[in-house]
Amino acid sequence: MLLALLTSISTSIFAQTLTVELDNIRNNKGVIYVTLYETEDTWLDEDVEDYEFIFPKENISNNKLTVSIDSIKSGYYGIAVLDDEDEDGEMQNNFIGFPREGFGFSRNVKVRLFKPKFKECVFEIKNDTTINILMQYK
């Protein structure tokens, strides 16, 4: 009985599904990177992605794409999304340094001159969760 209870508890800790609804995707070229970060220390660090997922853009409809990520443990996360149109795994910037590819963040933080801080983007997953992210293009 105790083993069944412990198994149930541990399964529920890691059994959350995160659904991300992406809106305003400008085309179906390339792939979408959805990266979940667990801490401010790793936030937007290209060498440390806590959870990175790549999704094809073949199911885009009306500039929208919905993706699901299973087996996410409960906790606090920030999400960064890259619309990697040339599929090179990196954000392409223009000569001034502004992004040429699309991006988005959890809590739909608008980017002006600086990247958002983790605390601006953080949200909690404790059950199955759905969030909407509006893609931004400069």
DSSP class per residue in 82-102: EEETT-SSS--B-TTS-BSSE
Distance CA 30, CA 48 (A): 22
123 lies in which domain range?
A: 2-134
CATH at residue 87: 2.60.40
The tens-digit pLDDT sequence of the chain (138 residues) is 544 444 444 445 668 999 999 999 999 999 999 999 999 999 998 887 679 999 999 999 999 999 999 999 999 999 999 999 999 999 988 888 788 999 999 999 998 888 999 999 999 999 999 999 999 998
Distance CA 104, CA 86 (A): 17
How does 61-92 read in b/e, with b if 16+ C-beta sit within 10 Å? eeeebebebeebeeeebbbbbbbbbeeeeebe
Q: How many domains does the chain have?
A: 1
**pTM for the whole structure:** 0.87
